[in-house]
Amino acid sequence: MIDFNANKRPEEMERISTPALANAFIDAQVEALRKQIGDGKVLLALSGGVDSSVVAALLIRAVGKQLTCVHVNHGLLRKGESEQVIDVFRNQMDATLIYVDAVDRFLDKLAGVAEPEQKRKIIGAEFIRVFEEEARKLEGISFLGQGTIYPDILESDGVKAHHNVGGLPEDLNFQLVEPVKLLYKDEVRVVGKALGLPDSMVYRQPFPGPGLGVRCVGAITRDRLEAVRESDAILRQEFYKHGLDEKVWQYFTVVPDFKTTGITDGKRTYDWPVVIRAINTVDAVTAEPYELNFSFVQKLVKRITTEVPHVNRVLWDVTPKPSATIEWE
């Protein structure tokens, strides 16, 4: 019997690589969760990322309505992401899900802030504030679910840094519930698949906690953020259509905070460029650009410049890491 609350992965624990092994893990973990939680209530910040989604699905199976999920839309999510979280968890899995529209709050706080680390700090701090406010509105919560995974324990003292909920005030007195903390990422995905989560959630590419905020370079404005979101949606659609989503580790668009001249329908324009980035890496410490087919790039250029308002130019960033980082901020 594996102690799922231990901080060290037991040597005899087999790598979860098949549906059968995932189902055995799910059965054992559901039993362990029921024992830990009893008739208590659990709160979970559900971003829609792989880890928090798998934790939500496990908790729904174990304790159903004793779980309350809070999904905070900070305005920096990709197109359709909040809608998918609501559809999968509220509509399909019948979870209790509180949707918090905090878009204006975040964008107001970020207005005029150009320095990348300052932007990250504001997003992280505001996230904790919004989540704390929701937690205080609820009564009788004694447990906090968290999507900590094994690399978090190995690399950063068990703190899920980018989940941003580590900083909740102590007086809330929550006991942590971390059902996937002994699992590696690939195992979390196998478990998520066995729990019936959609492939687009289980196999999705890494997405930074500060979201599109670090891809809208410099001080975020609503119209430039929309240009990031719309161009990202086109890029993802085309990657999926051409099977590139399975070949490329991370792919996204960036909109820098400068304009250049262009021409549309015979008229001079002064608008933003969109940068496309597609990289492969093993561990994100170093990364190589993926060599996209040139006619595919031209297709992206055509769609982005015609479909995204206020964009007249597309650039392709082929810089490896180092010298660049993967993200632009």
Applying CB under 6 A, the residues found at the interface with ligand XMP are: 120, 162, 206, 208-210, 250, 284, 321, 325-327
Phi, psi at 262, each rounded to 5°: -155, -170
Separation of CA 175 from chain center: 24
Q: Which is nearer to ligand XMP, 117 or 170 (CB)?
A: 117
The nearer residue to ligand XMP, 141 or 315, going by C-beta atoms, is 315
Residue the block writes with tokens 């942590």: 176
Cα separation, 107 vs 74, whole angstroms: 8
Three-class SS state of 165: coil
| Residue 325: CB minimum distance to ligand XMP, A | 3
Radius of gyration of the chain (CA): 21
Shortest reach from residue 281's CB to ligand XMP, in Å: 8
Q: Supply the minimum distance, in Å, between the C-beta of residue 248 and ligand XMP.
A: 12
Interatomic CA distance for residues 265 and 326, integer angstroms: 35
What's the closest the beta carbon of residue 288 comes to ligand XMP, in angstroms?
12
CB closest to ligand XMP, residue no: 162
113 token code pair: 């802030």
Give the β-pairing of 175-177 and 141-145: parallel
CB closer to ligand XMP out of 21 and 318:
318
Query: Nearer to ligand XMP by C-beta: 2 or 318?
Result: 318
How far, in Å, CA of 69 to CA of 147, rounded? Answer: 13
Minimum CB separation of residue 68 from ligand XMP in Å reads: 24
C-beta closer to ligand XMP: residue 192 or 208:
208
123/190 with CB nearer ligand XMP: 123
Tokens read off for 240? 């999926």
- In 3D space, the residue among 157, 75, 66, 130 whose CA is nearest the CA of residue 108 turns out to be 75
Instruction: For the CB of residue 252, give the shortest distance to ligand XMP in the complex, in Å.
Output: 8
Which residue, 61 or 277, is less far from ligand XMP as judged by CB? 277
Closer by beta carbon to ligand XMP, 132 or else 327: 327
How many whole angstroms separate alpha carbon 177 and alpha carbon 147? Answer: 9
Beta carbon of residue 35, minimum distance to ligand XMP (angstroms, whole number): 32
- Tell me how far apart the alpha carbons of residues 188 and 55 are, in angstroms, rounded to a whole number: 9
Amino acid at 274: V
- CA 328/CA 210 separation, integer angstroms: 13
Pairing of strands 267-280, 288-289: antiparallel
Smallest distance from ligand XMP to CB 326, Å:
3
